[in-house]
Amino acid sequence: MPSFTLSIGPSDKAELLASLYDLTPEDHAKSFKIQITDVADHPFVSSSFTACKST
């Protein structure tokens, strides 16, 4: 498998944590989605979310 590959079984679930870098103050009012694609080229898209500021 290529590096940074995640293997998940057909009925399994996974929870991912993603960091969004270089956000501007204006970006905090926007909605984001994350899309990943499996080895069979099937896309999976997250629900919409907004960025939060880390302290």
Tens digits of residue pLDDT in 1-28: 456 777 788 888 888 788 888 888 889 8
Segment 19-41 mean pLDDT: 87
Tokens encoding 14: 């996974």
The answer to whether residue 46 scores a pLDDT higher than 60 is: yes
The answer to whether residue 33 scores a pLDDT higher than 90 is: yes
User: Could you count the other beta carbons within 10 Å of the beta carbon of residue 51?
Assistant: 14
Break the chain into its structural domains and give their ranges: 23-50
User: What is the pTM for the complete model shown?
Assistant: 0.61
Q: How many CA atoms lie within 13 A of 27 on its CB side?
A: 9
Segment 20-46 mean pLDDT: 87
User: Could you count the other beta carbons within 10 Å of the beta carbon of residue 24?
Assistant: 7
The answer to whether residue 52 scores a pLDDT higher than 70 is: yes
